[in-house]
């Protein structure tokens, strides 16, 4: 292992960004999840279940890899090509209970191998995703309805849709309370939820995770009986345009590569593919 490669744990988000920020922002779209998590932690430090794990691996004078973990969620890794840096993070976390890892595909693959070697825990691919970036919106035409902020009367719809989204997208429930997330959103805290309204809510789109120049779009969900009518496209396009109008330079989103239909829809409205991400889950050996 390169003697100049070293891992540094960092206590505060501000210090983490002072060290790693330029590296992350140089590829802001690719690192929108890491930067968005940091943005959320700065805005709502009390929302974290426990102190986050923030680490930067340096090689020589430069950043080789960053790692952010907000339990009970999965570890999130930056872009990085140094296998030694990936191995250092796996070794540093080997005594912790990770549910999985999310990162650029080559990085996530190497980390999964290193994690299994360190812990004996098998790793399996939960999903392959693609990061998209948009800076100009092409709005769909002829879709009835209008965008609006979610309101308390939508609460039951939103909770049911979040649960359905997670089960359909990931095949599992995510480590959060959907009711608490909806309540925070309705109170104007954290990820904001919007609906496309046609005599009532027919589709949902969230927005949150601010980065220095952009913000992340999602989750996006339309109930099966209301699909293929353009509601989700209209909702995402309108939410994206609102973010650009508010001064964001870009919007980002993650889409499942196994769903070519949604990928095509996003590209049609102006989202361009940036990079591929793999999400792994770990099992107790």
- Tens of pLDDT, residue by residue over 189-213, are 889 999 999 999 999 999 999 999 9
Tokens 């693609």 — which residue? 130
Q: What is the mean pLDDT of residues 113-129?
A: 96
Give the single-character DSSP code of 187.
Answer: T
**pTM of structure:** 0.93
d(CA 136, CA 134): 6
Tokens of 117: 């070697």
pLDDT tens digits, 47-86: 777 899 999 999 988 999 999 999 999 999 999 989 999 9
- Taking the alpha carbons at both ends of the chain, their separation in whole angstroms is 27
């Amino acid at each position: 292992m390169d003697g100049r490669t070293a891992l540094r744990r960092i206590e505060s988000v501000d210090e983490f960004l002072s060290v790693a920020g330029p590296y992350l922002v140089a590829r802001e779209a690719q690192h929108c999840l890491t930067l968005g998590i940091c943005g959320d932690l700065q805005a709502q430090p009390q929302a974290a279940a426990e102190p986050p794990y923030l680490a930067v691996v340096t090689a020589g004078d430069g950043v080789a890899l960053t790692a952010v973990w907000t339990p009970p969620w999965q570890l999130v890794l930056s872009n990085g090509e140094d296998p030694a840096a990936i191995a250092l993070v796996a070794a540093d976390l080997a005594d912790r209970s990770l549910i999985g890892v999310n990162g650029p595909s080559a990085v996530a693959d190497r980390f999964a191998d290193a994690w299994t070697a360190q812990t004996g825990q098998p790793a399996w691919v939960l999903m392959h995703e693609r990061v998209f970036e948009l800076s100009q919106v092409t709005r769909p035409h002829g879709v009835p309805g209008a965008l609006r902020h979610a309101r308390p009367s939508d609460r039951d719809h939103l909770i049911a849709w979040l649960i359905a989204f997670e089960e359909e997208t990931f095949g599992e429930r995510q480590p959060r309370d959907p009711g608490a997330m909806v309540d925070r959103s309705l109170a104007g805290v954290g990820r904001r939820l919007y609906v496309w309204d046609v005599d009532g809510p027919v589709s949902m789109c969230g927005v949150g995770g601010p980065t220095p120049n952009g913000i992340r779009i999602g989750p996006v969900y339309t109930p099966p009986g209301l699909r293929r009518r353009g509601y989700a496209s209209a909702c995402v396009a309108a939410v994206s345009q609102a973010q650009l109008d508010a001064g964001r330079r870009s919007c980002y989103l993650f889409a499942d590569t196994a769903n070519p239909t949604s990928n095509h829809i996003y590209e049609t409205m102006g989202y361009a593919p940036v990079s591929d991400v793999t999400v792994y889950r770990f099992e107790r050996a």
